[in-house]
C-alpha cells in the first residue's frame, strides 16, 4: 500500500487519496489564444513514462490538498512529495 507524504498531514496510506494524474501537463495559460493542438495536448496526450512519474494525488479523505508526487511507476516507489509548485526531483 503506497505511502504518500502529504506536506500538510505527513505520511498517509494511498487510500486516503484520489489519484489525479499527470502533473506535467499545464493548462494553456491564455485559453483565448490557445490553439486546438495545445488543447488537444493538454486534455488528451500523456507521456506515460515507465519510470519516475510526476503526478498529483488529491488528499480527499484528509486535508483536501493536491499533493505532487514523484513516483517510480515500475515499482511504485515514492521518490518525492510536495505541493503543486514544488519542482520535485529524483533524490540522489
Partner 1 sequence: MILGRIKDVNACRLPTGGEIDRRRALSFTFDGRSYTGYQGDTLASALLANGVTLVGRSFKYHRPRGIFSAGPEEPNALVELRRGGRLEPNTRATMAELFHGLEATSQNRWPSLAFDAMELNDLAGRFLVAGFYYKTFMGFPGWHFYEKRIRAAAGMGRGTNEPDPDSYERMSAHCDVLVVGGGPSGLAAALTAGRSGARVILVEETNGLGGRLRSERETLDSAPAMRWVESVRAELESLPEVRILSRTTAFGYYDDNLIGAVERVADHIVAPAPHVPRQRLWHVRAARVVLATGAIERHIAFTNNDRPGVMLAGAARSYVNRFAVRPGRRAVVVANNDDGYRTALDLKAAGVDVIQVVDPRPPGTSDWRARCDAAGVETVDHAAVTKVHGRLAVIGCEVTRLDGSARSHFEPCDLVAVSGGWSPAVHLHTHALGGIEWNDGLAAFVPGMARQAHVSVGAARGIYGLSDCLTDGFKAGTDAAASAGFATGALPDTPTADAPAERPVRAFWSVGTGKRRFVDLQDDVTVDDIALAHREGFVSVEHLKRYTTLGMGTDQGKTSNIIGHALMAEARGEPIPQVGTTRFRPPYTPVAMGTFAGGDRRRHHTPVRRSAMHDWHADHGAVFVEAGHWLRPQYYLAPDEPDGKASMDAAITREVQSVRNAVGLVDVSTLGKIDIQGPDAGELLNRLYANGFKTLAIGKARYGLMLREDGIVHDDGTTTRLAENHYLMTTTTAHAGDVLAQIEWYLQVVWPDLKAHACSVTEQWSAMALAGPKARAVLADAVDDGTDVSDATLPFMGVTAARIADVPVRIFRISFSGELSYEVNAPADWGPRVWGALMASGQPYGIRPYGTEAMGILRIEKGHVTHAELDGRVTLDDAGMGRMASTKKCFVGSGMLNKPAYVNPARPKLVGLVPADGRTRIPAGSILVEDPDAALPMDKLGHVSSSAYLSPTVGHPIALGFVSGGLARKGETVWAVFPLRGLKIQVRVTEPVFVDPEGERLRG
Partner 2 sequence: MAEYSVFSLIREGLTGHKGWIRAWRDPEPKASYDVVIIGGGGHGLATAYYLARNHGIANVAVVEKGWIGGGNVGRNTTIVRSNYMLDGNAHFYEHSLKLWEGLSRDLNYNVMFSQRGVLNLAHSDGQMDAYARRGNMMRLNGIDAELLDREGVRRLYPHLDYSTDARWPIYGGLLQPRGGTARHDAVAWGLARGADRRGVDILQNCEVIGFERDGDRITGVKTSRGTIGCGRVGMAVAGNTSRVASMLGWTLPIESHVLQAFVTEPLKPLIDGVVTYGAGHFYISQSDKGGLVLGGDIDFHNSYAQRGNLPVVENVMANGLAMMPNLARVRILRSWGGIMDMSMDGSPIISKTPFDNLYLNAGWCYGGFKATPGSGYAFAHTIAHDAPHETNRAMGLDRFETGHLLDEGGKGPTPKLH
**Any contact of residue 27 with partner 1 (CB under 8 A)?**
yes
Q: Which stretch binds partner 2 (CB under 8 A): 26-34, 35-43, 60-68, 83-91?
A: 35-43
User: x/- contact string, 39-58, with partner 2 (CB under 8 A)?
Assistant: -xx-xxxxxxxx--x-x-x-
Side-by-side strand order, sheet with 18-22: 18-22, 52-58, 66-72, 77-82
Segment 6 to 25, residues that bind partner 2, using CB under 8 A: 13-15, 18-19, 21-22
Which member of 39, 49, 51, 73 binds partner 1 (CB under 8 A)?
A: 39
CA-based nearest residue to 25, from 60, 55, 57: 55
**DSSP-based three-state secondary structure for 23:** coil
Please tell me the distance from the alpha carbon of residue 29 to that of residue 15, in angstroms, as a whole number. 32
CA-based nearest residue to 16, from 79, 66, 68, 58: 58
Q: Which residues bind partner 2 (CB under 8 A)?
A: 1-2, 13-15, 18-19, 21-22, 36, 40-41, 43-50, 53, 55, 57, 73-76
Amino acid at each position: 500500500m503506497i505511502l504518500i507524504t502529504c506536506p500538510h498531514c505527513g505520511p498517509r496510506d494511498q487510500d486516503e487519496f484520489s489519484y489525479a494524474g499527470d502533473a506535467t501537463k499545464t493548462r494553456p495559460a491564455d485559453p483565448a489564444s490557445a490553439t486546438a493542438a495545445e488543447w488537444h495536448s493538454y486534455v488528451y496526450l500523456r507521456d506515460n513514462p515507465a519510470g519516475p512519474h510526476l503526478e498529483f494525488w488529491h488528499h480527499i479523505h484528509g486535508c483536501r490538498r493536491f499533493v505532487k508526487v514523484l513516483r517510480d511507476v515500475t515499482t511504485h516507489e515514492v521518490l518525492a512529495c510536495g505541493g503543486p509548485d514544488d519542482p520535485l526531483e529524483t533524490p540522489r
